[in-house]
Structure 1
Amino acid sequence: MHPLPEPASLPSLLLSSGGWRPEWGRTRAGGMSRAGGMRPPWNQERAPEERLPSATEPGRQWSMVRRMLTAGLLFSLLLGFSLLLVYIFRSCGPGPCMTPVCWDLLARYLASGNTSVAPCTDFFNFACGQAKGTDYSFQALAEENKKRLRRILEAPGSWHLGSGEEKAFQFYSSCMDTDAIEAAGAAPLRQVIEELGGWRISGNWTSLDFNRTLRLLMSQYGYFPFFRAYLRPRPTPPYTPVIQIDQPEFDVPLKQEKEQKIYAQIVREYLTYLNQLGTLLGGEPNKVQEHAFLSISITSQLFQFLRPLEQRRAQGKLFQMVTIDQLQEMAPAIDWLSCLQATFTPMPLSPSQLLLVHDLEYLKNMSQLVEEQLSIHRDFLQSHMILGLVRTLSPALDSKFQEARRSLIQKLGELTERPPMPARPRWMKCVEETGTFFEPTLATLFVREAFSPSTQSAAMELFTAIKNALVSRLRRIPWMDEKTRKEAQNRVTQLQVKMGAPEWALKPSLARQEYNDVGPCPCQLLISPQLLLSPLTRLSGRQSVHPGRSLTNPFLALIQLGPSYLQSFLSCVRSLRARIVQSFLQSFPYHRWQVSPWGVNAYYSIPDHVVVFPAGLLQPPFFHPGYPRAVNFGAAGSIMAHELLHIFYQLLLPGGCPACDTRALQGALLCLKHHYETIPLPNGTFFNGSRTFLENAADIGGLAIALQAYSKRLLWHRGETILPNLDLSPQQLFFRSYAQVMCREPGTQEPQDPHSPPTLRVHGPLSNTPAFARYFHCPHGALMNPSSRCQLW
């Protein structure tokens, strides 16, 4: 198609075709003559007057051409502007993240979610409906971190000889060497029992002083049969280290329950378990039965002395400060000074040393029970303590002991209607033990691989955005008075943040420390047949090679030398306790971390006013520098904001903020409590949130703060991305990533968990957020778009 001629070229076009000329017949008004109309330009033999054009037709043509040109010009401008807008929106709008980490995250979301569920009706199932077992996000992340440690520990030749790295690798290897552990059997444990004086069920028993045995159990084996003793900072200023005495940890609920039948079954199963332990250690069946039954009786009586934490809190007796002398008078059966001195060497102790006791009444009753048993059943008391030690050491023993333990846990779970615990692979147990005993070494190796400087920088940038959003939000909290508001803002700005790993974990020298007090681990020696003629045999302890036998392997013989795995385990127990005591004796210029760098639990420390986010938490699927910002803000950002709100827990307790608007604060808290009580659980019941209201408040506030920080980031930054093929906008992806953090099976929650069930941790905060209903287009009155909402933070 040829373009239309411009208006200025129209006369020349007519001239070139022999048509109208400009000098032909114009009127004075400048128009065309009407005489004779206008003849065809190719008819040249007409009279001049006949060849004059009409005064109206050319004007009409000119007007038509002009209108056509104007319309074409406008159309071209509109088309170009539209194309420009499309280009702008395509280049500035959210594009799909196509990196491998985003595809992995997409696969996780698709595997756990159930998109057939309407998000406005049940967002928990929309995000987590297919999550089963280890798909629970925190648990899955913790296991992934352990897999990374496993890869580190199994990497050949990656350690420095003679260093802590080498000992950590050797310990892990010996833990994984189940053939050697099976070959040793119960022999290493029998040796331990002999060192403690033996017990009557095996026919070899020396009546020793009760406190001597207790002292050995506490100091050499890390076992506390009647109480727990540990070093911790004081719960009140000045937060100096102090020895704390607490109730023991019982793994079997031997307390009279409402259902007598269930209690009898629990006692029966526990009796069967103790009988198995005694039999595996060579005890006579009749004596084993008798001693096991009395041990259950002692445990049951100790259990009756326990008082729940809620009861002690209500009575204002969470802890008491007493001297060792005072405790000796109130609980005289225990030689407190000698037992504590042996346990916390080289810490100097004296009778005037202050202790922090968590339940003094329990210790008094425990002491009276021990005195009664010493007067009539001294040998039974010895058996009770040894059976308890065997329980704690069973993970370091052969499969017979471990199978007996697993069977007990499974049957107790069935009786108490707890979900069965999945079987854990051997490598995971060995990784956990190696991490416990060699944390300084593994911390350095883990951070080096999993938390690069760029990751730390991106995480710190996210935290700064969250902290700024909280400071801004504090200005609009209606129940705060001006003085409290300023103090709260100062608390946030003065807060220290520890991210990734403690300072000492970043020093390579600590990763290579020698652990001189850790004994040698079991080692293997390859011997040529010329030096030794024996079968390919694993030997341990005092066993010897039988001479005169031919080699099944013509080249090498493999022999187990050195101490057993149990002995190495106990050596590490003593080394760890000594390091802990030594660290408390030294001045510590920075915060003592309460979680390993590969852990997944963030926390706020009141004494040090520090918030801690370990490297193990700031990993996929919660955080990655290459994720869409919506994911990082919705998952890791909401966790960060949740922990920051722990700073203000005290304000929410009765009398915690006397200058605040009490009526407005209590109204917001009652609204929050009612809000959670009206959200149904999957089984149709409702949850009493009085025990979890502090965590509920942090969940709701954490989500609101993270959303505010993300919205500000969207306003000032371009280049936002989304996950491909998920059909979620950035804001919808933000809420989806928040819910992903909470994914787990609803029935897997521990009874003492301070958090609400997972469905409430999703539905409670999201239904209280107007933006959620707006971005997901939820109809008014739907579960996720209620008629009223609460404003606490």
Structure 2
Amino acid sequence: MYNTEDATRWRNIDTHMLRMGETPIELKPQLSIQPTTQPEPERGIQLPPLFQLPFSTHHHSENQQQTQLQPGTQLSESNPEHRHQAKPVWIHHRKLLFLFLGFSLCAAILGIIYYMHQNLQNRSNTIVTPCLSPACQWASAHLSMSDDPFTQPCDYFLFTCGSDIFPPENGGRQRGQGIIGHPQNQNEKSIWLQRRGQDKEREDRGLREETIRDRKTELLQYLKKILESNDSSSSLAVKKAKGFYNSCLDTRSIDTAGAEPFLTLIQELGGWAVSGQWNHSDFNSTLSLLMRDYATFPFFNLYVGKDPNETAHETTKRYIQIDQPDLLIPIEWNSKTQKSQAKTETLRQFLASCQRYLALLGAMPSSNMIHAGIFLALSSELAVAAAPLHYRLSNGQLYQRMTIKELQSQAPAIDWLGCLQAVFHPLPLIEDDHVLLHNRPYIMQMSPIIGKWLNEHELSSRGPLQTYMVLNLLHTLMPALDSRFSETANNLSFALGNNERVAPRWKHCVLETEKGFDSVLTHLLSERTAHGEAEEIIQNIFSSFKSKLHELKWKDEKSLQFVMKKVQSLIPRLWTTKDISSEAELDLLFSEVSVSNQSFFSNYVQLLSLQQKRRNKLLTEQTEMVDILSVTPFLQGNDLLFPMGMFIPPLFHPTYPRAMNYGVMGFLIAKDILHLLLPDIYSQSESVRTVGECVWAHYLTVTEKESRGGAFSLSAVQQQEVWVQYSALQIALQAYHQSLKNRPADTSISGLSHTRLFLSSFSQVNCDSDPYREFMPLEPSFLITVVCVKSNLCPTSLQCPNKTQQHLLQKC
């Protein structure tokens, strides 16, 4: 394998290098030369230099050199001088390699330790813990039953709310079809209605309303669960509130009692001519009794409130306010004659319902028609003097101040001081006290009408005013009477064109319970409200909202300063009373209330008395009452108040992942704030219009409506609503990511976390029904695709491969 020609060639190279004064250190192991005649299996795989370094003892190293460097070995043996010189160099070189290897090994170990540390830290920040609370388990089940918005995004974000109950040939419900002027609004809908029929339409509407529940319904559902809970509360007031609610649900006992409880009450009020037993009681005495004990106001309304003309003085004084009554007769406003009127068709339906009421109350057929006609005639005369709010507002007829003495001289048929003293007992009212009128012309005309029917009318002997007051009392107490009365009222409503579905009994009972036991429900709701978490999300959303204002395009710097000055003056906070009553205080307050499990009528009469006491409390104690049924924020001076009723499951829960709370409640809070301040922003910023049109352009591109001629321009109010909801989503998302920076850890639901859970939660709440819903020309869930354009925060699966123009979309 080794011949003399090779040796000669190597000696020549060595001699040449020695002449140049160099040592042949380039002959390193990695430069070993293997004869080309070596068989392929023996040559093996040539490892990189690092892995060819000697790791064994010196003896083993020399043997390895002999194996790998055969030419070098022969050279050393034939040249003793070279052999003596190469060995120290090789040994020295090996030490350096050991040193380098040790350093590399230490560096590698340190790198691995650092990597593991960083990896564990990152995993602690990104790996989320599943939320296993009962509320999260419910939310997980709810999400699992709903469509995943990221499975088929191109379809989901166009058709969501209630799409399964609309014609499949339409591909689901398109929000634009509910907008006047939409090209598909008339033809497709009319064809479908002809095919399905009016009855099916009502059925589908009912299903859709059950599926799409607004925030008010969610709050009522939550209060229902509280009232039906079996917790062992020691509070008597709480037990009475629950007892009242349960007696309201007992429709069997209510129907069994029939009209008898109401007929007994009429006799206590002096009877009436319809039954043939009437003691001709004094008109003003009966009127005072109805207003004081039964919260019934047949001829005028009474309530308590501030004078807006005194708001600049920051006064807390409240006044008795007198307004026109809620008339039972159906009327409409004639803009030409500037008077109220009633159509013949509606009067006929109204008269028939009056006759039905009288028949249920035992009126003889001979007198039924007479008394029904009396009620219709008197109602019509009073209705002529009534006027809608917008007319009274435009003519300055609201908050007209006068003394009780002045009111008495202008409307003498009513004993004003006596009636007001009876209603607001024990408050000592005098003739010089001021009241506020909201329709002075009505009050001036009401007085002579009452005087005519009381003394001069040919039917005055039949007690027309007593019949009028009794039927108004019947309307007040109808919720506590058997179903025949409510069915009569519902039939009249339907005949007059009101197609609203009758509220389920549980909802009716929750609303009635709140009327009398509002302070009890406020206490129970406050106990269950996560005040700290609610305050946190309010503050974070408001902070994000202020940041958003700086991103808008303003007319000039003064415009931004104008809006920011107003915003900076606002104090956002949770709306609670300064001192929510304790259970002991509630027990004392309701100590005189006796709740019967079998008689809802008697319970309801006591409830009306409780309502009147609450009205008196507003006037005497000047306290701020919390509206427990409020579900949207409002401005009160510089306070931006958020009701507790907003922060209830399933919309909000302290154990939810923050991604879910911000995706649902954060969005709703931001939307409410923008609606409150929209007039100022719209008048000073150009972004509302431009952003609204940009989002609309996205919608037209993705749906390809523009190319098919199905596009229509947005109105100003539609542009505003698109901008509001799009901005609200951005604000909520920004606030959530800021919260993650402050507190990186967050839990998950259904394996989703962070932005994915945020967007999935938002896509479920976008069916929330609110007063502005009709102005939204597209599904709010579609806004996700607009936010995610050219954003690294969103899943890549949002891209629609079948939409060729999507890459041309710009960020709004």
Aligned partner of 1:9 in structure 2 is 55
- Name the structure 2 match of 1:714: 740
The Cα of 1:231 is off from its aligned counterpart by 0.9
Distance 1:565 1:105, change over 3 A: closer
Residue 421 (structure 1) aligns with:
502
Q: 1:786 to 1:243 in 2, by over 3 A?
A: farther
Once residues 786 and 302 of structure 1 are traced to their aligned partners in structure 2, the CA distance between those partners, rounded to angstroms, is 61
Alignment of 1:97-496 (within 5 A): 97-100=130-133, 101-111=135-145, 113=147, 115=149, 119=153, 123=157, 125-126=159-160, 129=163, 132-135=208-211, 136-152=213-229, 155=231, 158-160=233-235, 163-178=236-251, 180-236=253-309, 237=311, 238-250=315-327, 253-255=330-332, 266-374=346-454, 375-376=456-457, 377-378=459-460, 379-409=463-493, 411-412=494-495, 416=497, 418-425=499-506, 428-448=507-527, 450-451=528-529, 455-475=530-550, 478-479=554-555, 481=558, 484=562, 487-492=565-570, 495=571
Q: Give 2:612's aligned residue.
A: 577
Question: In structure 2, what is the Cα distance between the partners aligned to 1:383 and 1:646?
Answer: 47
**What are the Cα deviations for residues 113-132 of structure 1, in whole angstroms up to 9, with x where unaligned?**
57599656663743664683
Instruction: Give the deviation of 1:283 after TM superposition.
Output: 0.5
Residues matched between the structures, number: 681
Q: Deviation of residue 783 (structure 1)?
A: 11
Q: Secondary structure at the match of 1:637?
A: helix
Query: By how many angstroms is 1:105 displaced?
Result: 1.3
Q: Which amino acid aligns with 2:132?
A: T
SS in 2 for 1:9: coil
Alignment of 1:643-682 (within 5 A): 643-645=672-674, 648=677, 651=680, 664-665=684-685, 667-668=686-687
Counterpart for residue 178 of structure 2: none
8 Å CA contact retained: 1:124, 1:759: no
In the superposition, the TM-score normalised over structure 2's length comes to 0.70
CA distance in 2, matches of 1:675, 1:285: 68
- CA change 1:35–1:691 in 2 (3 A) is closer
Alignment partners' CA distance in 2, 1:704 and 1:363: 52
**1: distance between equivalents of 2:115 and 2:439?**
76
Match of 1:757, SS state, is: helix
User: Is the contact between residue 270 and residue 279 of structure 2 (CA under 8 Å) also seen in structure 1?
Assistant: yes
Quickly say closer, same or farther: Cα 1:788–1:717, change in 2 above 3 A. closer
Q: Give the partner amino acid of 1:282.
A: G
Do structure 1's residue 93 and structure 2's residue 126 form an aligned pair?
yes
Percent of aligned pairs sharing the same letter: 26
Instruction: Please tell me whether the aligned partners of residues 633 and 707 of structure 1 are also in contact (alpha carbons under 8 angstroms).
Output: yes
Q: Structure 1: which amino acid aligns with 2:520?
A: T
Distance 1:268 1:117 in 2: 57
Q: How far 1:288 sits from its partner (Å)? A: 1.9
1:669–1:496 distance in 2 versus 1, CA, 3 Å? closer
> Who is 2:19 aligned against?
none
For residues 531-550 of structure 1, what are the alpha-carbon distances to aligned partners after superposition, in whole Å with 9 as ceiling and x for unaligned?
Answer: xxxxxxxxxxxxxxxxxxxx
Q: Is the 8 A contact 1:767 1:785 kept in 2?
A: no
The gaps in structure 1 that reach 5 residues or longer are 23-30, 39-45, 524-559, 654-661
Q: Report how far residue 35 of structure 1 moved.
A: 8.8
Aligned to 1:630, which of 646, 652, 659? 659
Q: Secondary structure at 1:620's aligned position in 2? A: coil
Relative to structure 1, is the Cα distance of residues 13 and 112 closer, same or farther in structure 2, using a 3 angstrom cutoff?
same
Q: Distance in 2 between matches of 1:290 and 1:784?
A: 76
- What displacement does 1:601 show? 1.0
Offset of 1:165 from its aligned partner? 4.0
Q: CA 1:249/1:107 → structure 2, altered by over 3 Å: closer, same or farther?
A: farther
Q: Is the 8 A contact 1:112 1:128 kept in 2?
A: no
The structural deviation recorded for 1:696 is: 7.6
Please tell me whether the aligned partners of residues 766 and 780 of structure 2 are also in contact (alpha carbons under 8 angstroms): no
Give the Cα separation in 1 of the matches to 2:276 and 2:139.
61
Inter-partner Cα distance in structure 1 for 2:810 and 2:78? 90
Cα distance in 2 between the residues matched to 1:12 and 1:740: 74
TM-score, length-scaled by structure 1: 0.71
Q: Tell me the CA shift for residue 241 of structure 1.
A: 0.9
- Could you say what secondary structure the match of 1:463 adopts? helix
Cα displacement (A) at 1:289: 2.6
Deviation at 1:138, TM superposition (A): 1.7
Q: Compared with structure 1, are the counterparts of its residues 592 and 703 closer, same or farther at alpha carbon in structure 2 (3 Å cutoff)?
A: farther
Q: Secondary structure at the match of 1:512?
A: helix
Partners of 1:497 and 1:611 within 8 A in 2: yes
Query: How far off is 1:176 after superposition?
Result: 4.7
> Which residue is equivalent to 2:191?
none
Q: Provide, for residues 292-349 of structure 1, a one-character-per-residue CA deviation record: whole Å limited to 9, x for no partner.
A: 2442344455445443333444445443223333434444443332222221222232
Asked if the contact 2:789–2:809 (Cα under 8 Å) also holds between the matched residues in 1, the reply is no
CA distance in 2, matches of 1:94, 1:21: 54
Matches of 2:692 and 2:411 in 1, distance apart? 43
Structure 2 partner of 1:606: 636
User: How far off is 1:580 after superposition?
Assistant: 3.1
**Structure 1 pair 778–348 and aligned structure 2 pair: CA distance change class (3 A):** farther
Tell me, yes or no, if the aligned pair for 2:275 and 2:362 is still in contact at 8 Å: yes
Shift of 1:720: 3.5
Residue 139 to residue 572, structure 1, CA distance change in 2 (3 Å): closer
